[in-house]
A and B are shown apart, each in its own frame.
Chain A
């Protein structure tokens, strides 16, 4: 009886601590974003960094996004062909399902999960290193708004570039699917294109773009938050980077579910 009581109070105590900690982190995250938004007008401060980040997040991610798109589309086509292997189902359905799945889900989600590793880890490491080596303090002590200088351009670049990368991933995925269907003999290009066009709805693209926009925000803002508040030297930066990547992936999946539940 006493042991159970002790265990329950122990559990309550730790739940309370965890809850307070989560609440504190949420507060700090919200404050960081509020400070970012408040400094939107300081364009001259972050202009150069914004251009730099647009190139790093966008241009430098194009190869990995194209590669991810091509293989996702190719695998999708081969697996769909395997599952729909019936004389009663038209082969054009392979193109319909592949294109639809890419536009509505895979191009945005898989690309974002890959970019959580590439972009998110880079942002968290950069800001974390700047934090532990006092470079952020140096910026503040010079009279800079470090948030508008470091956080805002990264989040803005994510919001702008992720939808563009989604377009690249979708196109390369559809073309990858077409090539895989042709090379494996599962579906002819004409049937594939016919199927893809038959079930194409413009809303799917809008929804995919919206998803990419949200995922861009989730990944860049979480990574900035983890890096900006890193502490504890090299180990601390390592932990922040790991947390940024893992949390970005989890919140991308969570946001994916919420968006699907609300808009579909």
Chain B
């Protein structure tokens, strides 16, 4: 379980949010939505302490991640898988090596076992046969899937997706959505998804956090979202061109 308590963040004089608090239960898929620049990506970077807040806490299994010593923090970070907006694959490594990277450094597996695991992961994201390709040779959707395979190779407890479908065509977005659903279901991973895409939210999320007006404006289940009469939330939802009520 992840508990976010009274998180406040600003960059210089620019306040991002004043007070954000909510909890994410084990196995849930929480979508974080909001306008561009409202601090969605900044918020998820606080979950594994890639960024530090001005004040507030993120409690994981009873421990505040911001209080952890660097070595304990690194151990805690290994419990997270992160799919970055731009995929963040290592340019100098090919697809196979990118996915094998965490296995080589954090496990005692031999090369044969590593190879089996990587091939299995590639099949899971429907990319068998691309192991020798470099990131530059892959399309945007393929890069996201390789990054997803790398993020899940150590079987993390929590998986963060930062804009997983942005810039992708509808078909590839749908494939990514299906992968997110199957990852959460098959591996029982707690997922946190940053997105603008309401269509994806309705498909993959169990809960939704809406950031607005420098804070958490609304938090609830997808069913509650469908029935909500919160004006700002509905204005955001309808602006996304998806007729949720129909």
Contact = CB atoms under 8 A, between A and B. Distances in A.
A145 B106 CA distance: 12
Given A134-B85, A138-B84, A141-B48, 20 more contacts: A45-B105, A133-B91, A134-B88, A135-B88, A135-B89, A135-B90, A135-B91, A137-B50, A137-B82, A137-B84, A137-B88, A138-B82, A140-B77, A141-B50, A141-B77, A141-B80, A141-B82, A142-B154, A143-B75, A145-B74
Contacts of B56: none
Contacts of B70: 145
Contacts of B75: 143
Contact of A143 (B78, B85, B89, B91): B78
Contacts of B74: 143-145
A129 interface: yes
A144 B106 CA distance: 9
A142 B84 CA distance: 12
Nearest to B79: A143
A142 B89 CA distance: 12
9 contacts: A45-B105, A129-B91, A133-B88, A133-B91, A137-B82, A137-B88, A138-B90, A141-B48, A145-B74
Nearest to A142: B102
Contacts of A143: 74-75, 77-78, 106
Interface of A: 44-45, 129, 133-135, 137-138, 140-145
Contacts of A142: 77-78, 101-102, 106, 154
Contacts of A138: 82, 84, 88, 90
Contacts of B91: 129, 133, 135
A249 to B, nearest CB: 27
B86 interface: yes
Nearest to B106: A143
Nearest to A44: B105
Contact size class for B? 20 to 34
Contacts of B89: 135
B77 A134 contact: no
B230 to A, nearest CB: 33
A141 B105 CA distance: 14
A60 B48 CA distance: 39
A149 B113 CA distance: 24
Contacts of B101: 142
Contacts of B80: 141
Interface string B82-107: 10111011110000000001100110
Contacts of B102: 142
Contacts of A137: 45, 50, 82, 84, 88
A12 to B, nearest CB: 21
Nearest to B84: A134
Given A45-B105, A142-B77, A144-B74, A133 B48 contact: no
Contacts of B84: 134, 137-138
A228 to B, nearest CB: 15
Contacts of A45: 105
A144 B101 CA distance: 11
B51 to A, nearest CB: 9
A135 B86 CA distance: 9
Interface string B57-68: 000000000000
B50 A144 contact: no
A45 B74 CA distance: 13
B13 to A, nearest CB: 14
Contacts of A135: 88-91
A114 B86 CA distance: 35
Nearest to A48: B104
A231 to B, nearest CB: 12
Contacts of B78: 142-143
A135 B101 CA distance: 13
Contacts of B154: 142
Contacts of B105: 44-45, 144
A44 B106 CA distance: 11
The list of the 9 closest CB pairs from A to B, nearest first, reads: A143-B78, A138-B88, A134-B88, A143-B74, A141-B82, A143-B77, A134-B84, A135-B88, A142-B102
A142 B76 CA distance: 9
